[in-house]
Amino acid sequence: MNNVVYGRNSVLELLNATPERIEKIYFQFNTSHNKLKEITITARRHRIAVGKARLEKLSEIAGTTKHQGVCALISTINYYDIEEILEKPRNSNPLIVILPGLQDPYNIGAIIRSAEAVAADAVVLVEGKGSPVNATVHKASAGALPHMRVCKVKSLKKCLELLRSKKFQIVAADMHAERNYTDIDFTRPSALIMGEEGRGLGTGLLEEQDAIVRLPMAGCIESLNVSVTAGVLLYEAMRQRLT
């Protein structure tokens, strides 16, 4: 699902020309080359995810040792605009999943699979946050990724403001919530926002949601994996819409 561009000049030219194509940039550990510093600054200005890697890992990513300490992953996915999704929804009352910063590509792929299974309208990612949509995501989606409309937005805040202006309710899951997930009316336009593994959404972002729900737990553990939680919520939404 990704092409690779490597080399200092090539990556910098790509950054300056079409930064929206870049999923993530990997740099060599402990480097001080001026051009790599320029690439780092430019990438952060465009809110592109960056990471450090050893020379062996960079060579593996690039498929060559001539990477000059930097590789850029270029997505082959055609991302949709959130406005395009809202103009041409899949459902009369759209259902959207928002993933602001999941780090595990297996979780992203599994959620895309569940979203496609219930005919959700789109999965929304945030630029520069979380794992890139790579071959692992594709594999974990088990063939669902090509059928799911995936959006990438620059600002989560503006995305949520747009959805609310279109009468969406924004629903988050948190194990300390008072409301059960079955108490929410999912027959109206809804967006499910899923927190990062191990950290959730954080107090500030949780306070901004229209509804916070919990999944009852009868065993010894406190919560489920984020992809499992997303699947439960998505299927509850589909159940309500089919009854």
Per-residue pLDDT tens digits for 101-136: 899 999 999 999 999 999 999 999 998 888 888 878
> Is 80 exceeded by the pLDDT of residue 41?
yes
Kind of pairing, strands 190-193 and 169-173?
parallel
* Distance (Å, whole) CA 133 – CA 16: 21
pLDDT at 77: 81
Contact call for residues 77 and 133 (beta carbons, < 8 A)? yes
Parallel, antiparallel or unpaired: strands 22-28 and 70-75:
antiparallel
> What's residue 229's pLDDT?
95
Dist CA 97 CA 191 (whole Å):
6
Helix, coil or strand: residue 100: coil
With beta carbons less than 8 A apart as the criterion, state whether 169 and 188 touch: yes
Quick count: other Cβ atoms within 10 Å of Cβ 76? 11
What integer pLDDT is reported at residue 31 of this predicted model? 75
Residues 152 and 131 sit within 8 Å (Cβ to Cβ): no
Fold of 82-242: Alpha/beta knot (3.40.1280)
Average pLDDT over residues 37-56: 90
Instruction: Using DSSP, state whether 74 is helix, strand or coil.
Output: strand
How far is residue 167's CA from residue 161's CA, in Å, rounded to a whole number? 10
Q: From 235, 200, 208, select the one nearest 99 (Cα to Cα).
A: 200
What are the DSSP calls for 205-236, one per residue? HHHT-SEEEE----SS-S---HHHHHHHHHHH
Residue-wise pLDDT tens digits, 186-230:
999 999 999 888 777 877 788 888 999 999 988 888 888 999 999
Reported as a single tens digit per residue, the pLDDT across 128-171 is: 888 888 878 888 999 899 899 999 998 999 999 999 999 999 99
Mean pLDDT of 180-191: 96
Tokens representing residue 200 in the block: 């959730």
User: According to the model, what pLDDT value does residue 68 have?
Assistant: 92
> What CATH homologous superfamily does 2-75 map to?
Ribosomal protein L30/S12 (3.30.1330.30)
Q: Indicate the domain borders of the chain.
A: 2-75, 82-242
Range list of H helices, the chain: 8-17, 34-45, 55-62, 82-87, 105-117, 135-140, 156-165, 203-207, 226-242
pLDDT at 215: 93
- Average pLDDT in the chain: 91
pLDDT tier at 49, thresholds 50, 70, 90: confident
Confidence check: pLDDT of 32 > 80: no
Residue 243, pLDDT score: 84
Q: What is the pLDDT of residues 61-96, one digit of tens each?
A: 888 998 999 999 887 788 899 999 999 999 999 999
Question: What are the C-alpha distances in Å from 172 to residues 16, 42, 118, 128, 221?
Answer: 36, 33, 18, 21, 20
Rounded Cα distance between 2 and 136, Å, is 10
CA–CA distance from 117 to each of 87, 110, 111, 143 (Å)?
22, 11, 10, 11
8 A C-beta contact, residue 181 and residue 233: yes
